[in-house]
Amino acid sequence: MTKYLKILYNSDIFPKSEIKKPKKYEKRETVKAIVLNRKGEIALVTNPIHNLFSLPGGGAESVNLEIEIIRECLEETNQEVKIIGMVGKTKEFRDKYKKEFTTTCFVAKAVKKFKKDSRTEEEIKNGLRVVWVNKKKLINIFNTQNKKVKAGKINFYNTAFNIVRDGIFIKEYFNNYDNVIL
């Protein structure tokens, strides 16, 4: 049986939500990564639509999750990465879209930057970009974003879930991997 760092329900993110729990959820496998560069900075992705930050990653298109996170990191950070560990898994029940997400988060190091833009057409259209931040800034960003989620100030449903979930992965990373030398 899989051990999850946390199981998130709609009520954890939106306590006052009137969205009814669906009778059935569609399962969706996703991947995320804490990617470090040579300076020890961590990659976050953002866009001007919501100006919020999340870890790179996305939907898995195959059962090989390591290949999937390598693909997602190349798309979103324009970096080839090497997987050095797994942070953990979460499960999320997103009632609005009737989806049950299982998300696996990896730790990776950036090993090679690509000159050619690797983002998808949609990511380019939405202005997705990578930002590299140090540990202090990362913690500050996620503390601020989590406060906004708790205060009901994040209007993007999936983004609110992503902020809370990515915060769980970041906390787990700092508890268990922060001293790993790359």
CATH number of the domain that residue 79 is part of: 3.90.79.10
Domain count, the chain: 1
The share of the chain scoring above pLDDT 90, in percent, equals: 79
pTM over 0.85: yes
Is 182 among the domain residues?
no
Measured CA to CA, the distance from residue 148 to residue 176 in angstroms comes to 26
pLDDT at residue 182, rounded to an integer: 38
Per-residue pLDDT, averaged over 116-133, amounts to: 86
pLDDT (tens digit per residue) in 68-97: 999 999 999 999 999 999 999 999 999 999
H helix intervals, 46-156: 65-77, 121-125, 135-150
Q: Which residues pair with 30 in a beta bridge?
A: 59, 103
Mean pLDDT over 132-148 rounds to: 95
SS3 152: coil
Please give the average per-residue pLDDT across 9-36, as a whole number: 95
Q: Which domain holds residue 134?
A: 6-176
